[in-house]
Amino acid sequence: MTPNPVTYFEIPVTYMGRVIEFYEAVFAVALERVQIDGHDMALFAFDEKHPGISGALAKGESYVPSRGGPRVYFSVQSIDQTLTRIRSLGAEIAYPKTLVGNFWIAEFINSEGNQIAISADGE
């Protein structure tokens, strides 16, 4: 087994345009919209010089948004600032800012109905 077995993620979506706007606003990033194997996708940037993985928003028959699937954690600089942006977009906070060990975490429901998490180093 490799030291870091998770290499990529895909978040199921129904309305690609809406969810791209949501993630670009929450994380202040630009997503790259592409077609992969007949699926509409929006790729998060990846920089090999930094730790972590990347992934995509994915639309297709096998991609069904749900709160019950795996939980993806996005690293952010500030939980408070990110939660402010999330709330301003009308998203539901599913799990409030909580200190767990040395990390702050929180969870929200994205525009498609997926439960997503954010984490930041303890302040």
Task: Name the CATH superfamily housing domain 8-121.
Answer: 2,3-Dihydroxybiphenyl 1,2-Dioxygenase, domain 1 (3.10.180.10)
Q: Residue 25: its pLDDT value, please?
A: 97
pTM score: 0.88
Q: Mean pLDDT, to the nearest integer, of 82-92? A: 97
Give 7's pLDDT tier (boundaries 50, 70, 90). Answer: confident
Residue 1 has pLDDT above 70, yes or no: no
Closest-CA residue to 9 (of 50, 47, 42): 42
Per-domain residue ranges for the chain? Answer: 8-121
CA distance 25 to 72: 18
Residue 2 has pLDDT above 60, yes or no: no
- At 12-49, the pLDDT tens digits run 999 999 999 999 999 999 999 999 999 999 999 998 89
Closest-CA residue to 57 (of 27, 16, 85): 16
